[in-house]
Amino acid sequence: MSRIGSLPVNLPAGVSVDVSDTNLVSAKGALGELTVQVNPEIKVEINENIVELKRPSESKRHKSLHGLYRALINNMIVGVSAGYKKELELVGVGYRAETKGQMLEMSLGYSHDFILELPVEVKIEAKTERRSNPVITLTSTDKQLIGHVAAKIRSLRPPEPYKGKGIKFVGEQLRRKAGKTASI
């Protein structure tokens, strides 16, 4: 029995979910609308304020699809009702970030600046306060998209283990290494 797939998804107030004949599940909420195409083998049922998914058999493939689509539908419902937020911190001397509309310009210690154009579904904000590291805040309704964008930004200068310089998530614990030790 799938542990994730068998859990029902509760609909918060203000969110409506529709299922079409082709198993296209769409959710509308205060923050927008998202859709996901569900495999035809998995049946989606809506009863009052609960969304349930049913699988045809106990095979490994059906169990994995069951849990996958339940998680995708849950992420979609949370996204249209509350949204998702990721914060990235730039740690290093001279590192800076600026936004111009959907363009993010970063100086990360290389000979050139990085300019990224972000999708319109992702809202971006860069803050730099005195005596603190610049922080990039990403907000979106789509969990997969915001995770992909945050990972792409982080990959431009991943944190290194000796001094901790680079782009890291706020609250991320880094494994630090000891530097060289002098021997006599």
For residues 55 and 68, the answer to whether their CB atoms sit within 8 Å is no
Global confidence as pTM:
0.89
Per-residue pLDDT, 66: 93
Per-residue pLDDT, 181: 82
Which residues in 77-114 are b (16+ Cβ under 10 Å) and which e? bbbbbebbebbbbbbbeebebebeeeebebbbeeeeee
Q: Is residue 153 part of a domain?
A: yes
89: containing domain: 84-169
Q: Is residue 28 part of a domain?
A: yes
Per-residue pLDDT, 180: 84
Given 52, 81, 110, which residue is the final one in a domain? 81
The mean pLDDT values, 10 residues at a time, for the chain of 184 residues are 81 92 93 94 92 92 93 95 96 93 93 95 93 95 96 95 93 89 73
Q: Is residue 142 part of a domain?
A: yes
User: Based on the domain organization, do 99 and 119 belong to the same domain?
Assistant: yes
Q: Is residue 3 part of a domain?
A: no
User: Based on the domain organization, do 75 and 109 belong to the same domain?
Assistant: no
User: Based on the domain organization, do 138 and 154 belong to the same domain?
Assistant: yes
Number of domains in the chain: 2
Number of C-alpha atoms within 13 angstroms, CB side, residue 24?
A: 6
